[in-house]
Amino acid sequence: DGGNNSDDMAGTNNTYTQAAGFIGSGATGGTPSGVMPTPSESIEEFKVATNNQSADFNGSAGGQISLVTKRGTNQWHGSAYEHFFGSNFGANTWQNNHTPVRDTTGKILSPFTPLPHTHQNRYGFSAGGPIAPEFLGGKTYLFANYEARRFPQAAPFEHLVPTELMRAGVIQVQDSTGVYRAYNLNPVPVTVNGVTYQPARCGTAGIVPCDPRGIGLNPLVSQLWSKFMPLPNDPSYSSGDQHNTQGYLSSVLLPQKTDSFVARIDHDFGDKWHLMASYRYYRLDQLANTQIDIGGALGGSLGQPRSTAPRQQKPSYYVVGLVTNISPSMTNDFHYNYLRNFWEWSTAQAPPQFPGLGGALEIGGESANALIPYNVNTQNVRQRYWDGQDHTIRDDVNLIHGNHMFQFGGSYELNFDIHQRNDNGQGVMAANVYQITTGPGLAFAANNFPIPCTTQVTTNCLPSSQNTTWQTLYTEVLGIVSQPQSLYTRKLPDLSLQTLGTPAFDKSVIPSYNAYFGDTWRMKPNVTLSYGMGYMVEMPPYEIEGKQVMLVDSAGSPVVTEDYLAQRKKAALAGQVYNPTLGFATIRNVGGGRKYLTTPSMEASARVLQWRGIRSSTVESWARYSARAAR
């Protein structure tokens, strides 16, 4: 409708969200698309240009896709539709057919896991026609479309859980013959399934307790596993070792639903003025599988996986256009549009599993498959949101003069983006997490290991190849923390530390300017020459509070990469070392207060396209010139 639906953040709008409003897949990915999904029922026509574009498309290197919303007509017309697809027409998975359903005590309730019941349906309606009698020189028309999708999907979900022996504080590790040997880390005997295991002994002589503290199974670990971790029902789970850890297979509800609304109003002010306005709204609500609770610790019940990661998209789009016939040979086309791109990643984050804990326990380390009822790994449970608000003003003039059709105009776009996150993009977020696993923060003495295997001792011993496995299981059962992790943020102007849990956020502005001129010249009946020139500058993003940082030298001046490398080379050729002190400074503390991280550059392009008709054939040739100059 003459507006801009491009995503200034991800380009294809599928890096952080589910593109094109696609339903029935994961939380991200899908076919590249614009911000605003478009129901096909609302489209009257579309056009795709991927090469040899005219000068007015000089900012669309990859392609230009134009969509036009349906208009109301002189008579009312409408439609209604629904599409349905259900799981009752589908077959079960091989894995489900071979995995029994067990209750919390381990009793088999069914020899197979049934196919989760699910269905997907898309429905909607549209209507269009005149809405008011003629006034101000013309009629007013309305078109509206509503479309909804409902997908109460359920998907198989499997999580790693400890076996009964491991829950009792007994771990199993292979000896040099490949046989799994049981080691009771408790100071007292324990009985599991009628078998009593005596306390294990460690050290080179095998005479000292394996836990020098005399505690054995950590009480918090024991409580966590017994209260919130169902017993395994899939011994063959590939992520487990089948002796200490196995899989718990069930299904999890991951419903998705969308609501989309489109409306367009047109009015003619006589023969020379035509006004249009369109509005689009879309909402996607879904539960992602990035954080699943299998124990009822965050609500729900033991053994029933439940998603705690709602994700939402709520983009909206406004366009107002005014077409004016200035003269029989000249028209002016003015458009303003507002595009909002809003999405949010929500999770339960990393709450402690029990009251009074200073942070969440992550048994097994940073992993989505840790031995806890709900995962707390940063990559999966981080929280983010994006609120992009883009304003675009565009004006185009078309002039026919003799054998020429001149086009010229320009546009101004202002992108205002707000982004908030509680993670550093890798493995730390704004919450206390205690990783219970082996790691560089722990040192193990010989008395912490069983009798080592030698050429003479090959059974009931620990080979050196199993040391890491022993350390991992040992720390998990005893509840030994290898490292905590927390993320703190700072605030301007003094970079003071904020309280734990305060997310990081920024507000960025990206202005851009575009101007062009083009001419389609019909030189002869069989020769048409198209040429034009465009100028576009997109300024670098700047953060309105000055939160961006720059690399500076000891004098506080920006470090220029080319100059720095040249100095390194010069020093190396002279047999010297160039290693100055470098640091980081917020952008407003550099060079008397900068606005942009980089110096804007200019890009210009001139395009010539020619067709020459020869009899019934067509020969196409084109030439393109481009230049780029930094300033």
Per-residue pLDDT tens for 77-87? Answer: 999 999 887 77
Yes or no: say if 94 and 113 are a contact pair by the CB < 8 Å rule.
no
pTM for the complete prediction?
0.82
- pLDDT for the residue 66: 85
Is 50 exceeded by the pLDDT of residue 453?
Answer: yes
Among 228, 255, 244, 501, smallest CA distance to 364 is for 244
pLDDT in tens, 3-20: 888 887 765 566 677 655
- Name, in order, each residue with C-beta under 8 angstroms of 457's C-beta and a sequence gap of 6 or more: 451
Is 80 exceeded by the pLDDT of residue 89?
Answer: no
- Name, in order, each residue with C-beta under 8 angstroms of 47's C-beta and a sequence gap of 6 or more: 65, 66
Burial class (CB in 10 A: 0-12, 13-18, 19+), 536: middle
Coil/strand/helix, residue 165:
helix
Count the neighbouring beta carbons within 10 Å of the beta carbon of residue 574: 9
Quickly state the pLDDT bin for 618 (edges 50, 70, 90).
very low
What distance in Å separates the CA atoms of residue 280 and residue 337, rounded to the nearest whole number?
11
Burial class (CB in 10 A: 0-12, 13-18, 19+), 42: buried
Partners of residue 602 on adjacent β-strands: 629
Burial class (CB in 10 A: 0-12, 13-18, 19+), 595: middle
52: left (phi over 0), alpha (psi -120 to 50) or beta: left
Strands (E), 402-548: 404-421, 433-436, 483-485, 490-491, 496-497, 504-524, 527-538, 542-543
pLDDT in tens, 292-313: 999 999 988 999 999 999 999 9
Yes or no: say if 530 and 608 are a contact pair by the CB < 8 Å rule.
yes
Checking DSSP bridges between strand 245-253 and strand 256-269, what pairing results, if any?
Answer: unpaired
What distance in Å separates the CA atoms of residue 396 and residue 57, rounded to the nearest whole number?
12
pLDDT in tens, 331-369: 999 999 999 999 999 999 999 999 999 999 999 999 999
Among 358, 347, 373, smallest CA distance to 221 is for 373
- Name, in order, each residue with C-beta under 8 angstroms of 393's C-beta and a sequence gap of 6 or more: 335, 336, 411, 412, 413
Yes or no: say if 250 and 104 are a contact pair by the CB < 8 Å rule.
no
- Name, in order, each residue with C-beta under 8 angstroms of 474's C-beta and a sequence gap of 6 or more: 171, 185, 210, 438, 448, 480
What distance in Å separates the CA atoms of residue 560 and residue 297, rounded to the nearest whole number?
52
Q: Residue 582 CA to chain centroid, in angstroms?
A: 33
- pLDDT for the residue 63: 72
- pLDDT for the residue 616: 31
What distance in Å separates the CA atoms of residue 226 and residue 166, rounded to the nearest whole number?
11
Coil/strand/helix, residue 352:
coil
pLDDT in tens, 133-170: 888 888 999 999 999 999 888 888 999 999 999 999 99
Q: Which two tokens stand for residue 342?
A: 């809003």
Partners of residue 29 on adjacent β-strands: 18
Yes or no: say if 56 and 407 are a contact pair by the CB < 8 Å rule.
yes
Yes or no: say if 470 and 437 are a contact pair by the CB < 8 Å rule.
no
Quickly state the pLDDT bin for 625 (edges 50, 70, 90).
very low
- pLDDT for the residue 92: 76
Q: Scan for tokens 């004006």, then name that residue.
A: 395
pLDDT in tens, 498-550: 999 999 999 999 999 999 999 999 998 888 888 888 888 888 899 999 999 99
Yes or no: say if 332 and 282 are a contact pair by the CB < 8 Å rule.
no
pLDDT in tens, 109-136: 777 777 766 778 899 999 999 998 888 8
User: What average pLDDT does the segment 311-323 reach?
Assistant: 94
Checking DSSP bridges between strand 542-543 and strand 504-524, what pairing results, if any?
Answer: antiparallel
Is 50 exceeded by the pLDDT of residue 244?
Answer: yes
- Name, in order, each residue with C-beta under 8 angstroms of 144's C-beta and a sequence gap of 6 or more: 126, 127, 128, 261, 262, 263, 264
Is 60 exceeded by the pLDDT of residue 441?
Answer: yes
What interhelical angle do 219-228 and 467-478 show, nearest 10? 80
- Name, in order, each residue with C-beta under 8 angstroms of 562's C-beta and a sequence gap of 6 or more: none
pLDDT in tens, 543-579: 999 999 999 999 999 999 999 999 999 999 999 999 9
What distance in Å separates the CA atoms of residue 444 and residue 423, rounded to the nearest whole number?
32
Q: Which two tokens stand for residue 506?
A: 């920024």
Q: Which two tokens stand for residue 522?
A: 């019909």
Q: Residue 462 CA to chain centroid, in angstroms?
A: 44
Q: Which two tokens stand for residue 363?
A: 């048994």
Angle at 313 between CA 295 and CA 90, to 5 degrees: 60
Question: For the CA atoms of 295, 300, 301, 304, what is the dihedral angle to 10 degrees?
Answer: -70
